[in-house]
Copies of this chain bind each other. A is one copy, B any other.
């Protein structure tokens, strides 16, 4: 059994990690930390875990974490970079579900996250944990930066187009929509049901932290500059991301359907739907899959890619476990075979 520690387990990515680990056959959660809830039973805070975990939240204890094989950070941005270096030194592998190790450039990181990076020397080593792109490196990684939710949905939708140089990469548009759990479980007026229920809006149109992240990924793939307009929106539902991606085709129309199917044929968690499909976010609720559909409206020169994930699963905790499986030589789908809850 892999010995697991979770730092900061009271948020939605924390409870999602626990939900998935509860039925994972080769992982055992040794400890889960929370300063605010120390001493409280995990199953008291999260009723869905009753009967699955006999564990209390505890104060972070470096020594006990050092006994783990792997530590997940489900903390706010800026925490993992404080604790990860020592854990790595002690031979513990680390997956950060926050953003501390996602950007390679510490100056860019500081600009978007509003603080200096505490261990810029680790940014080079950290592997961006998108298995569909970096599977080999993840297997060997000590430190994995788990991707953001929006970047996961966008990257899987754009990758085949960029890899094959099929589109005008200067003029990409990503119109993305997320359920409210993406904003986390902190007390906040902005995500009260009275504020976000029965309403829809865009936010952060002038700049969202996931933009430099997806740009870094697309530039890394294509080797060239990328111009991307990314507009996130808030949907009155709890889980799910729907990315609607627009790209101008620059080469004579190739068969996008075949291209995507071929690109993802061996990917256990990317599912290219039949032509004409419209994936629903509920179709991946609680599971680690990304569903993709391809369209060329009116046979024009704009490709429209629809890409859906569950922001807490493939967009966070599920992908983290997929990465864990890779890092520890297990079947990549181990513990991730659930069926989406529908309706």
Q: Which A residues form the contact surface with B (CB < 8 A)?
A: 12, 15, 19, 22-23, 46-52, 171, 173, 175, 177, 179-181, 183, 185-189, 191-203, 205-207, 227, 229-231, 233, 235-240, 242, 244, 246, 248, 271, 276, 278-287, 291, 295, 297-298, 300, 302, 304, 306, 308, 312, 337-343
Contacts and interface: CB of A to CB of B under 8 A. Distances in A.
Closest 6 CB pairs of A and B: A47-B283, A48-B340, A199-B282, A175-B175, A193-B193, A48-B342
A196 B281 CA distance: 10
A297 B205 contact: yes
Contact of A229 (B46, B188, B271, B300): B300
B173 A237 contact: no
A306 B205 contact: yes
A248 B171 contact: yes
Counting chain B CB atoms within 10 Å of each CB, the highest count among A183, A238, A297, A300 belongs to: A238
B341 A341 contact: yes
A300 B230 CA distance: 12
B341 A19 contact: yes
A297 B193 contact: no
Contact of A189 (B47, B175, B185): B185
Given A173-B246, A187-B188, A200-B242, 5 more contacts: A48-B283, A48-B284, A48-B287, A198-B285, A200-B280
Contacts of A236: 193, 235-237
A159 to B, nearest CB: 20
B193 A191 contact: yes
Contact of A19 (B193, B229, B342): B342
